[in-house]
Amino acid sequence: METPTNRPVPAAHAPKSKPDAWPMRLALGAGGIAAVSALTAAIVMPPQTVTNTQVTQQTVQQPLSTPVPASTIQVVQPVKYVQLLPGQTPPPGAQVISPADPTPRTVVVNVPAPAAKQPAAQPPAAQKPVYIKTTQSGTVVP
């Protein structure tokens, strides 16, 4: 039987080496700098002008049994606004809008739907709502 004093002493072993953290720190630092740079560029950069792309309509050459009336074909021309600098003149045929002119408004006309058929039996008249007045404590005020 071994006594606690006779127990063999384990041999001293070297502690396990930990992986080097510097490569990951450098990668995270570089990623952080890139993210901050992208955000700063997005905030500071002036807005880009939007360009309209024109869509061309391709027609298929096939005989039609009935001719298509000319009123069903509608062409929408995109409007391109250009602000002239002092001393510049507009191109020939261009419509000039003065800054003092009021802005154009869009008018929406609602066309009422056809009247629905009335049901045979009329429902009873709606009851008048009852309002109950109370104080902050919840007591009813007559």
What letter represents residue 109's amino acid? V
Contact by Cβ (8 Å): 104, 81: no
Q: What is the DSSP string of 30-57?
A: HHHHHHHHHHHHHHHSPPPPP-PPPPPP
Burial 99-128 (b: 16+ CB within 10 A, else e): eeeeeeeeeeeeeeeeeeeeeeeeeeeeee
- Euclidean distance between CA atoms 34 and 31, whole angstroms: 5
> Which long-range CB contacts under 8 A does 14-22 form with residues at least 24 apart?
none
**What tens digit of pLDDT does each residue of 4-62 get?**
566 666 667 777 888 899 999 999 999 999 999 999 998 988 777 766 555 555 544 55
pLDDT digits (tens, 9 = 90+) for 78-94: 877 778 888 888 888 88
List Cβ neighbours of 97 (8 Å cut-off, separation of 6 or more). 81
Q: Return the pLDDT at 139.
A: 84
Q: What is the pLDDT of residues 85-134, one digit of tens each?
A: 888 888 888 888 877 777 777 777 888 888 777 666 666 667 788 888 88
Residues 33, 38: Cα–Cα separation, whole Å = 9
Which DSSP state fits 2? Answer: -
CA–CA dist 89, 96 (Å, integer):
10
